[in-house]
Structure 1
Amino acid sequence: MPVVNRIAEFTEDMKTWRRHLHQIPELGLDTVKTASYVTEILQGFGVDEIHQGIAQNGIVAIINGQGAGPTIGLRADMDGLPITEPAAVEYASTHPGKMHACGHDGHTTMLLGAARYLAETRNFAGRVALLFQPAEEVIGGARIMVEEGVMDRFDIREVYALHNAPGLPEGAFLTTPGPLMAAVDTFTVALTGMGGHGAMPHLTRDPVMAACGMAQAIQTIVSRNHHATEDLVISVTQIHAGTVDNVIPETAFINGTIRTFNPEVQKMVMTRFDEIVKGCAVAYGVAAELTYEVGYPATINDAEKAAFAAGVAREISGEAQVEAEGGREMGAEDFAYMLQARPGAYLFIGQGETAGLHHPAYDFNDAIAPVGASFFARLVEKAQPLA
């Protein structure tokens, strides 16, 4: 079947919700206006329960089906990004320096669309728990919701989520069994040498040269310390030092990101980072302080649930529009914490040829909202059918 007919009927309503959300982007856990609007919409649908204040501004809404059965969880993220949006659309951000540049306004809208349909029809057994989550982009709102006990409190047995994908054909779906996205760690190295005149480097201990040497040495972890068949990315993304052309500075700063799938590879990287930073510090005669922050774990789909979800996607978009073994990528996602707590699957839904995620020109494609809402709705009906 294609898009659910009833969901298609409120396509314009979904566009209105999404564009309102687009105008009020909020960051991290501070999604007060967004959560208030979502709650208002959910109340209008007549959902059975609305639980607020989870992970500060997260929401869990419950819709009861007909008869006894398990609870299935559906998650949407609500937060935006600290990006200034060009005033290119009439519904542009009204919050300076904040923007929905990753489509979380669209993700929230797709789940609201599914909620409206499911609350009207209740053509399923058990319950559905709608998880509206803050802080996906930073600190891991999914982790906080899990730590606050949402899976046990609402007896959620399995959990699913969607993310839009620029470049994937409009309305297409992509997922894969097992690892889908990488774990993400962050490193920072603070270097302290002895500054001095640029014309007299022999009287200094130059942190700039140490930073350059250290950045190059770090890359040997990928090229020389791990097996070529294991995915690993280490990117030095910042080097800061100095103020003028004729002064060797006292300090320098290096920062970057690490992406892995295998915990053993992650441990190896941590060990080598410590060794390289200490060794380079001695070699260049500077002091170096390494801060290694372990971030989101790898996003790992349950193979059975991923296959099931792909089957539902085929009913919505057709066989040719679904890639069920699409491989893995080095991006990261805090839905990983929910997948550690319960079996489930994460899928990408095609946005079409648009600007990329986290780009100031990005805008969610409203045409795919009914597709995503239909996917969520049919997922519930197929996972928990009436007897």
Structure 2
Amino acid sequence: MPVINSIAAMQPEMQDWRRWLHRNPELQFDLPKTSGFVARKLREFGVDEIHEGIATSGIVAIIEGRGDGPTIGLRADMDALPIPEATGAEHASETPGKMHACGHDGHTTMLLGAAKYLAETRNFSGRVALIFQPAEESGGGGEVMVQEGVLDRFGIGQVFGIHNAPGRPEGEFFVNPGPLLASVDEFNFTIRGLGGHAALPHETRDPVVAALGLGHALQTVVSRNHRATDDLVLSITQIHAGSANNVVPAEALLSGTVRTFDDAVRDMAERRIRAIGDGIAATYDVEVELHYDRGYPPTINDPDRAGFAADVARDVVGDGKVDPDVMREMGAEDFAYMLQARPGAYLFLGAGEGAGLHHPEYDFNDRIAPIGASFFARLVETAQPVG
């Protein structure tokens, strides 16, 4: 069963929606234009309920099917990134310093396309809840929506989402029956010593030397503290210190990220990072302050729902264009919070060649929007058939 004809026929309309969203990017929870646009379209489509202002700017829309049944949730993220756009496209961002560099404009468009089709046909039982979420890039809008009781309030029993994947074959789906994306934590060290003249280092307590020692020691968390077969990434991404070549500064800053799929490994990494910071303080006679922030948990698919989603994807694009056991990746995604609360699955949809995610030259491939919308629609019709 290929891409739904009526959704394929929507492609020009969906492209217009997507490009309007692309020209009007907004960040985190502050999405008045975006959420207003989504709500207007949903009203045009004739959905049964529109609930606005969830997690500040999120929306949940309900479409009633034919007859009693459960409620299935479909989620799309809406926020953009604080990146100046460099695509040169006619539909480029009209807001300096902000752009849709991750394709959330496309994700929103795919869910809107599915919403229009489902509201017109209603060839399913029970209900579908369309979840338009703010603040995926930062702020954890998915967690906020869960905390505000969205899944309970609307009786959502299972939940699904899609992310576009540049560099993977256009129109192909990728999923796995377990951990798909990693957790993401951040560490920020402030090292305070005693500054002074660079010609008299013995009169200082040099935070730069301590930062260098700290950076080297942190690498042992991966190389010496965890089992080699467990996935763990620790990356130091920032070091800041000093302002002149002849001055030993009084302070240095060192920051980075930790990513894994296993809570025990996550706990170990945090414990060792704290211990290493304490050791550096004693070794170099400096003060070491650590702010360790636990971010998004790992995105873990329910095996049964992932298998079901792969079957639906095969119906839409064909058996040879679905990888049901793709290798997991170290990126992170706050859809993880919804998957902690309900069984479901998260899939990648190949976008073809082009700039990667979070790149200033990235642009969503409009050709894949009808494919994603068809997947969402078939998912509902297959999970909750009439009769």
- TM-score range relative to shorter protein: over 0.9
2:123 corresponds in structure 1 to 123
SS state at 2:180 partner: strand
Q: Is the 8 A contact 2:87 2:361 kept in 1?
A: no
1:199 corresponds in structure 2 to 199
**What are the ranges of 5 or more consecutive residues in structure 2 without an aligned counterpart?**
none
1:360 equivalent to 2:357? Answer no
SS state at 1:329 partner: coil
User: Partner amino acid for 1:336?
Assistant: A
1:21 corresponds in structure 2 to 21
2:137 corresponds in structure 1 to 137
CA-to-aligned-CA distance 1:128-167 (integer Å, 9 cap, x gap): 0000000000021000000000001000000000000011
CA-to-aligned-CA distance 1:2-34 (integer Å, 9 cap, x gap): 110000111100000000000111111111110
SS state at 2:219 partner: helix
1:295 equivalent to 2:290? Answer no
Following the alignment from structure 1 to structure 2, what is the Cα–Cα distance between the partners of residues 202 and 89?
57
Q: TM-score, normalised by structure 2?
A: 0.99
Task: Tell me the percent identity.
Answer: 64
Following the alignment from structure 2 to structure 1, what is the Cα–Cα distance between the partners of residues 63 and 239?
50
Following the alignment from structure 1 to structure 2, what is the Cα–Cα distance between the partners of residues 351 and 87?
16
Q: TM-score, normalised by structure 1?
A: 0.99
1:61 corresponds in structure 2 to 61
Shift, 1:318, TM fit: 0.9
Q: Is the 8 A contact 2:169 2:350 kept in 1?
A: yes
1:259 corresponds in structure 2 to 259
2:321 corresponds in structure 1 to 321
Following the alignment from structure 1 to structure 2, what is the Cα–Cα distance between the partners of residues 262 and 35?
35
SS state at 2:270 partner: helix
SS state at 1:183 partner: coil
1:32 corresponds in structure 2 to 32
User: Partner amino acid for 2:255?
Assistant: N
**What are the ranges of 5 or more consecutive residues in structure 1 without an aligned counterpart?**
none
SS state at 2:25 partner: coil
User: Partner amino acid for 2:164?
Assistant: N
Following the alignment from structure 2 to structure 1, what is the Cα–Cα distance between the partners of residues 338 and 291?
27
Correspondence list, 1:1-387, <5 A: 1-86=1-86, 88-387=88-387
What is the CA RMSD across the aligned residues, in angstroms? 0.6
Shift, 1:199, TM fit: 1.5
Shift, 1:270, TM fit: 1.2
Following the alignment from structure 2 to structure 1, what is the Cα–Cα distance between the partners of residues 41 and 369?
16
Following the alignment from structure 2 to structure 1, what is the Cα–Cα distance between the partners of residues 111 and 123?
17
CA-to-aligned-CA distance 1:200-255 (integer Å, 9 cap, x gap): 11111111111111011000000000000110000000000011111111100011
Report the number of matched residues. 387
SS state at 1:345 partner: strand
Q: Is the 8 A contact 2:87 2:362 kept in 1?
A: no
Shift, 1:319, TM fit: 1.1
Shift, 1:261, TM fit: 1.1
User: Partner amino acid for 2:272?
Assistant: R
CA-to-aligned-CA distance 1:180-213 (integer Å, 9 cap, x gap): 1111111000010011111211111111111111
Q: Is the 8 A contact 2:87 2:360 kept in 1?
A: no
User: Partner amino acid for 1:64?
Assistant: E
Shift, 1:87, TM fit: 5.6
User: Partner amino acid for 2:186?
Assistant: T
